[in-house]
Amino acid sequence: MSFLLWRKCLIYLKKKLPISEFRTWILPLQVEIKKNFLFVHTPNRFVLDYVKKKYYNNINSVLEKVYRKNLPSLIFTIGNRIENEKIEKFNKTNKNTIYNNFFNKSIKDFSKNKKDRTYYSKINKEYTFDSLVTDRSNNFAISTTNMVLNKPGLICNPLTLYGKTGLGKTHLLHATVNKILEKYNKMKVIYTKSSKFVYEMIRSIKENKICDFRKYYCSASLLLIDDIQFFAHKKRSQEELFYIINFLLEKNRQMIFTSDRCPKEIYGISEKLQSRFRWGLIIKINSLELKTRVSILTKIANMNRIKISKKILLYIAKKLNSGIKELEGTLNHVTAYVKFTRKSVTIEFIRDLLQNFIFVHHRNVRVELIQKTVAKYFKVNLTDILSKSRSNSISYYRQISMTLIRKLTDYSFSEIGNMFGGRRYSTVIYACKKIDKLEKEDIKVKKDLFNLVRILSI
């Protein structure tokens, strides 16, 4: 009879709370009634504190309505639900009750072939630590990842790697999975992209399987998520990720994340989720060194059997301060054009050929050059742009400068703010967002940006 009363409590709470909150925080609670005590079991300290703080009064008021007399004392604990014959009998005879929605869940929809210990995204077996191009730009990230794999879950947890697109972050994750599966036979490895995580979460909510979704991710021995910047402004996804991170941290299970920027600069990520990233180690992967880029271009040119002078390869390497894929794509573009037209390869030819191609790629441009170019373009003094002036025109030129520095260099929002008289990183974020918006709406702004980048790319 006691469990039927708890079922009534659930029905009341379902009416009283938003359905998303009810399914996320109330329905998964595991209960046990002993004498005059109602024990509410939670999986970890985070859930216990959150539910107790936010829903204690709601649960207690509903208990008063349902029980009327002999009101049980409400006690929150950390641990698993003790299986009870009454619960099992209740579930077997009430297949469609909301209680059954939690206790009879399975994770079969989130499982793959048992022989395959990696889940969701396919792993490229050719992406190994040996096949990584290494230099001082990524040595620290690679050595730290290797160190983590020797003692997974015990140091640098979670480990977050960030850097511009094309610098080998995904390659490093694949290499990590390949090495961990080779070293530890019984580890369950879950590797996925954040977009897939969000998609599966939405689907699980629609199908009322959010508990399965959580169980699946919480079952990981090693969790790797690529491109966490995708979680920005997705509050529910962040809540689920926060829940999973807390659970895995308590179990000392290793997590590795990647992003295209430092987590603190991902606009739209909650502070509490930011704090979890800070609990571990955050490492920046820089662009490959110039000599490494030249070496890569030389190898590609030799493979394509095309003669290009070192001077021209150096020119391309300087223009493309980027990842290996962009370097390959650029030289393949040059190779195809040369073979088709049979023209000789000169600096002028390369400049003309790649001007538009370079325009959309990341370049190694000095900050001082960007600032001076903007000042000269708009015919104002550089000191005005760097000053505290808040006039509309000067603010616009300053915001243009900040946006170009952000797009054309590796500097963070905080570092860019310091270049303009110690302004806060939030000011730089605002400037970049404003110019990005104006570029889409105002043809003049779009033209200004186009002209400035073209000048800087020559």
Compute the average pLDDT of residues 128-136. Answer: 84
pLDDT at 412: 79
Which position has the higher pLDDT, 173 or 71? 173
Q: Containing H/E element for 38?
A: strand 37-42
Name the least confident of 132-136, 290-294, 352-356: 352-356
pLDDT above 70 for 110: no
| Residue 94: pLDDT band with limits 50, 70, 90 | very low
Domains and CATH numbers, the chain: 2-104 (3.30.300.180), 118-284 (3.40.50.300), 290-359 (1.10.8.60), 367-457 (1.10.1750.10)
Residue 370 is encoded by which pair of tokens? 């960007």
pLDDT at 86: 40
| Residue 362: pLDDT band with limits 50, 70, 90 | very low
Alpha-carbon distance 114 to 355, whole Å?
51
Compute the average pLDDT of residues 372-390. Answer: 90
Instruction: Say if strands 222-226 and 254-259 run parallel, antiparallel, or are unpaired.
Output: parallel
Residue 121 is encoded by which pair of tokens? 């995204």
Residue 5's nearest CA partner among 75, 86, 80 is: 86
Q: Tell me the pLDDT tens digit for each residue of 220-240.
A: 999 999 999 889 888 899 999
Residues paired with residue 37 on neighbouring β-strands, in sequence order: 34, 73
pLDDT at 81: 52
Mean pLDDT of the chain: 80
Q: Tell me the pLDDT tens digit for each residue of 309-356.
A: 888 888 888 877 667 777 777 777 777 767 777 777 777 777 766 665
| Residue 98: pLDDT band with limits 50, 70, 90 | very low
Alpha-carbon distance 159 to 248, whole Å?
13
pLDDT above 50 for 113: no
Confidence (pTM): 0.58
pLDDT at 401: 92
Alpha-carbon distance 177 to 145, whole Å?
11
pLDDT above 70 for 80: no
Q: Residues of 263-273 as b/e, b for ≥16 C-beta within 10 angstroms?
A: bebbeebeeeb
pLDDT above 70 for 120: no
Instruction: Say if strands 281-284 and 159-162 run parallel, antiparallel, or are unpaired.
Output: parallel
Which position has the higher pLDDT, 99 or 375? 375
Q: Tell me the pLDDT tens digit for each residue of 10-29.
A: 888 888 888 777 877 787 78
| Residue 78: pLDDT band with limits 50, 70, 90 | confident
